């Protein structure tokens, strides 16, 4: 039994750890998504700058001031080349060729421009400008689609994580509730002891009575037609609550009163001779008959009071009560 309890405790702890770990996993996904968006945004900025620079160089006359710009374009193209390699097989590409081929056309145009520049021609032709602008538009569309997909994935993942967390919380709650119910000793509707605790006390009391020859009696009360009388749930709860309170007020602290079944209450009377047990039955019978439960149809009760025979077992003792109530 000890091993089972430890294993159950381990499972509960594991579920709680999973719930806690979901939080950093969620933030990691968010952080990774924003990192990708940030990188893609920088690429758009670089490509857009190259596109604008190409148009500017195509309109300006020959000048020595574009040397620094050319170097900056070269550096930017190297950075863009790495990004293009990483995204060459992207499902978000909507161009007519491939991303690598589109970028290769941009590089070819740029190299042509540099060759002409060395020959004294610094203007960029319109075809090259169109090629760079087309590449810029393709990348912008790719990044836009990629970011929308990331946002959808983020909300989808967040929803899934929330559902998993709620399910785990629900399972933990059910587990705790079952454990509480499993180890509870009281019936919540009557506030008496439950059947499990009663049977445990019955076995112990019968063993003690048999060993030391202590007197032991049992009084059982059966609510006739309780399940078939047509009472609604609220009425049943009211009846059981009143019955539990009356039985508690009429019995001793040492007595073990329980709700044995849906329609049966049993009271284990320790150190009680049969004569005294019958006297208690009379008191309870009188109290129940005089009390107005304010229900229709009226309640009818059956009573059974028996004395323990030290030669019998606790199971036999209980079965004799059941036979008398049938």
Dump pLDDT digits (tens) for 131-156: 888 888 888 888 888 888 878 877 88
Tokens 């620079």 — which residue?
Answer: 53
| pLDDT reading at 31 higher than 80 | no
Domain map of the chain by residue range?
2-181, 193-325
Cβ contacts of 132-136, under 8 Å, gap ≥ 24: 132/50, 132/51, 132/54, 132/106, 133/51, 133/54, 133/55, 134/95, 134/102, 135/47, 135/51, 135/102, 135/103, 135/105, 135/106, 136/44, 136/47, 136/48, 136/50, 136/51
pLDDT exceeds cutoff 70 at 81: yes
Pick the residue with more confidence: 220 or 146?
Answer: 220
Give the per-residue pLDDT at 167: 81
User: Of 59-63, 71-75, 283-287, 315-319, which gets the smallest average pLDDT?
Assistant: 59-63
Please tell me the distance from the alpha carbon of residue 146 to that of residue 301, in angstroms, as a whole number: 75
* CATH numeric code, 193-325: 3.30.70.270
7-21, 44-58, 172-186 — which is least confidently predicted? 7-21
In this prediction, residue 9 carries a pLDDT of 62
Q: What pLDDT is recorded for position 217? A: 95
pLDDT at 155: 80
Average pLDDT over residues 119-138: 74
For residues 183-207, average pLDDT: 90
Between residues 205 and 122, the one the model is more confident about:
205
- Identity of the highest mean pLDDT range in 35-39, 85-89, 201-205: 201-205
Region 5-24: mean pLDDT is 67
Asked whether residue 14 carries a pLDDT value surpassing 60, the answer given is yes
With vertex at residue 174, the alpha carbon angle to CA 168 and CA 176, rounded to the nearest 5 degrees, is 100
Using the predicted structure, report yes or no on whether residue 242 has a pLDDT greater than 90.
Answer: yes
Query: What is the maximal distance between C-alpha atoms in the chain?
Result: 128
Same fold, 2-181 and 193-325: no
What DSSP state is assigned to residue 91? T
Average the pLDDT over 82-105 and give the result: 87
Mean pLDDT of the chain: 83
Q: How confident is the model at residue 277 (pLDDT cuts 50, 70, 90)?
A: very high
Q: Residue 35 above 80 pLDDT?
A: no
Tens-digit pLDDT profile for residues 160-177? 777 877 887 787 778 777
Mean pLDDT of 181-199: 87
Beta bridge partners of residue 219, listed in sequence order: 267, 305
Q: Do residues 113 and 87 make contact, with C-beta atoms less than 8 angstroms apart?
A: no
How confident is residue 60, by pLDDT bands cut at 50, 70 and 90? low
- The answer to whether the beta carbons of residues 200 and 189 sit under 8 Å apart is no
Range of weakest confidence among 65-74, 112-121, 288-297: 112-121
Classify 265 as helix, strand or coil. Answer: strand
Mean pLDDT lowest for which of 40-44, 60-64, 150-154, 295-299?
60-64
Could you tell me the pLDDT band of residue 1, with boundaries at 50, 70 and 90? Answer: very low
Confidence band, pLDDT 50/70/90 cuts, at residue 3: very low
Instruction: Give one word for 5, left, alpha or beta, with left for phi > 0 and alpha for psi -120 to 50.
Output: alpha
Higher pLDDT pick, 147 / 201 = 201
Q: What is the DSSP string of 149-190?
A: HHHHHHHHHHHHHHHHHHHHHHHHHHHHHHHHHHH--B-TTT
Mean pLDDT, rounded, for 92-101 = 86
pTM for the predicted model, two decimal places: 0.52
The answer to whether the beta carbons of residues 307 and 220 sit under 8 Å apart is: no
- Which residues fall within 8 angstroms of residue 259, CB to CB, at 6 or more apart? 187, 189, 190, 192, 193, 194, 195, 240, 244, 265
CATH no. of 2-181: 1.20.120
Half-sphere exposure of 208 (CA within 13 A, CB side): 12
Torsion of CA 237, 240, 243, 247, to 10 degrees: -130
């Amino acid at each position: 039994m000890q091993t089972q309890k430890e294993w159950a405790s381990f499972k509960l702890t594991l579920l709680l750890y999973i719930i806690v770990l979901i939080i950093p996993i969620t933030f990691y996904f968010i952080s990774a998504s924003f990192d990708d968006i940030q990188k893609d945004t920088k690429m758009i900025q670089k490509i857009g700058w190259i596109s604008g620079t190409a148009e500017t160089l195509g309109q300006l006359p020959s000048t020595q001031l574009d040397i620094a710009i050319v170097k900056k374009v070269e550096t930017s193209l190297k950075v863009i080349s790495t990004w293009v390699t990483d995204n060459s097989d992207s499902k978000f590409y909507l161009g007519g060729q491939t991303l690598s081929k589109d970028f290769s056309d941009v590089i070819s145009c740029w190299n042509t421009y540099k060759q002409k520049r060395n020959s004294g021609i610094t203007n960029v032709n319109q075809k090259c400008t169109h090629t760079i602008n087309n590449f810029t538009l393709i990348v912008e569309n790719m990044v836009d689609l990629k970011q929308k997909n990331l946002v959808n994935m983020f909300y989808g993942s967040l929803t899934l994580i929330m559902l998993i967390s709620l399910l785990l919380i629900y399972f933990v709650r059910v587990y705790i509730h079952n454990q509480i119910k499993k180890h509870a000793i009281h019936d919540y509707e009557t506030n008496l002891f439950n059947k499990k605790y009663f049977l445990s006390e019955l076995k112990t009391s019968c063993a003690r009575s048999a060993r030391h020859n202590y007197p032991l009696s049992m009084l059982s009360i059966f609510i006739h037609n309780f399940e078939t009388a047509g009472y609604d749930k609220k009425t049943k709860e009211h009846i059981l609550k009143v019955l539990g309170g009356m039985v508690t007020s009429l019995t001793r602290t040492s007595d073990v009163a329980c709700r044995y079944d849906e329609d049966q209450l049993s009271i284990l009377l320790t150190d009680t001779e049969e004569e005294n047990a019958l006297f208690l039955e009379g008191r309870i019978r009188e109290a129940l008959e005089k009390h107005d439960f304010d229900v229709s149809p009226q309640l009818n009760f059956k009573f059974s009071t028996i004395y323990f025979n030290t030669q019998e077992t606790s199971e036999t003792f209980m079965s004799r009560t059941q036979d008398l109530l049938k």
